[in-house]
């Protein structure tokens, strides 16, 4: 009796083992098919990324090591000399600091205004669609249209600002041209980030707010302890997008100031355009582009890894 039970147990165990061994190749095959399918879906985007992003970046970094302009028949290897010469260029330094000032002001102001507009829009009971449209309308305007609107506003004697004081020439005065552009940028961009914050607010559970109110928390305490921490993923995303947008200044400067007066409103991307297409100094333009790309990558990466640890994802 015992021997027959042992025999049956052994046969059952061996049978299960054979079935498990037969299933292993099947599982591996399914896993391989899933992996290949995933790579096949990612491949078109990866090729697009390589051709239109990674390759131009690598080509620009390589080109920054050569001196190439209209005065030279062939490009000459310059090494780091382009970078040394660039930091001795007063126009580049001016454009660098102008762009830094714009980024330091517009990024936090955009985030604060976007949050305030989103909270206000989310609490409005009547005419909510009209409020959203009013805040978002500057975003849907083309850049050229927005630049012309503000160019008219800032025009002395004829513009709205000129009606207050005909002697004001905000775009023609070195001390006021940068603040004037900052005001226009905040007006144009803050509504864009409001949409993301509004979406984040609507995804926060109402039960959390009800529990906080039952505990006696006020509006400010609820916002500081609940709303703002739960909106940190939106804030991180908005920070990176606002930072890159603050360095993509070409259209506005081309139409409104041309980088003047006396390079008071010149910025890095516009200086790259001037250097590469007006002066045809390809080596110098590649050098400025390399510095801009590396700078944005460093700031974005450091900000992401520092803030990501504090973010609560639901």
Q: Measure the CA–CA gap between 173 and 185, rounded to whole angstroms.
A: 18
Comparing 156 with 72, which gets the higher pLDDT? Answer: 156
Position 7 scores a pLDDT of: 43
**pLDDT > 70: percent of the chain:** 89
* CA distance linking residue 219 with residue 223, whole number of Å: 6
Which two three-digit tokens encode residue 120? 């206000």
More confident residue, 162 or 122: 122
Grouping H, G, I as helix, E, B as strand and the rest as coil, residue 79 is coil
Q: List 77's β-bridge partners, or say none.
A: 66
Res 80 pLDDT > 80: yes
Determine the pLDDT at residue 79: 83
CA distances from 110 to 117, 162, 227 (A): 10, 26, 18
* 221 Cβ contact partners less than 8 Å away, ≥ 6 residues apart: 212
Residue 23, pLDDT > 70, answer no
pLDDT band at 18 (very low <50, low <70, confident <90, very high): low
pLDDT > 90 in the chain, percent: 42
Task: Determine the Cα–Cα distance for residues 19 and 17; give it in Å rounded to an integer.
Answer: 5
* The pTM of the whole model exceeds 0.95: no
Q: Is the dihedral of CA 16, 21, 26, 28 positive or negative?
A: positive
Given this model, what pLDDT does residue 5 score? 43
Instruction: Report the mean per-residue pLDDT for the chain.
Output: 85
Residue 309 has a pLDDT of 65
Tens of pLDDT, residue by residue over 195-246, are 999 999 988 888 888 888 888 888 888 888 888 988 988 998 899 999 999 9
Most confident of 23-27, 98-102, 158-162: 98-102
Tally Cβ neighbours within 10 Å of residue 195: 17
pLDDT in tens, 249-276: 888 899 899 998 999 999 999 999 999 8
């Amino acid at each position: 009796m015992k021997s027959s039970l042992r025999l049956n147990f052994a046969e059952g165990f061996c049978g299960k083992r054979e079935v498990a061994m037969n299933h292993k190749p099947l599982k591996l095959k399914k896993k391989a098919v899933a992996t290949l399918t995933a790579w096949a879906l990612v491949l078109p985007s990866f090729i697009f990324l390589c051709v239109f992003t990674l390759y131009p970046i690598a080509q620009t970094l390589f080109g920054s090591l050569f001196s190439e302009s209209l005065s030279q028949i062939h490009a000459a290897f310059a090494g780091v000399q382009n970078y040394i010469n660039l930091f001795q260029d007063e126009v580049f330094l001016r454009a660098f600091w102008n762009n830094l000032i714009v980024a330091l002001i517009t990024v936090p102001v955009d985030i604060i205004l976007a949050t305030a507009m989103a909270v206000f829009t989310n609490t409005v009971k009547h005419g909510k669609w009209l409020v959203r449209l009013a805040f978002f309308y500057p975003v849907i305007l083309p850049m050229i249209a927005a630049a012309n609107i503000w160019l008219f506003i800032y025009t002395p004697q004829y513009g709205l600002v000129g009606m207050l004081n005909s002697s004001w020439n905000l775009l023609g005065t070195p001390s006021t041209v940068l603040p004037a552009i900052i005001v226009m940028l905040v007006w144009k961009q803050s509504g864009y980030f409001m949409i993301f914050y509004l979406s984040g607010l609507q995804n926060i559970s109402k039960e959390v707010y009800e529990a906080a109110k039952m505990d006696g928390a006020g509006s400010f305490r609820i916002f500081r302890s609940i709303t703002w921490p739960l909106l940190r993923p939106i804030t991180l995303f908005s920070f990176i997008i606002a930072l890159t947008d603050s360095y993509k200044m070409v259209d506005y400067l081309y139409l409104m100031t041309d980088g003047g007066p006396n390079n008071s409103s010149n910025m890095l991307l516009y200086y790259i355009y001037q250097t590469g297409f007006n002066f045809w100094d390809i080596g110098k333009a590649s050098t400025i582009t390399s510095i801009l790309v590396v700078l944005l990558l460093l700031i974005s990466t450091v900000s992401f890894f520092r803030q990501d640890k504090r973010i609560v994802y639901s």
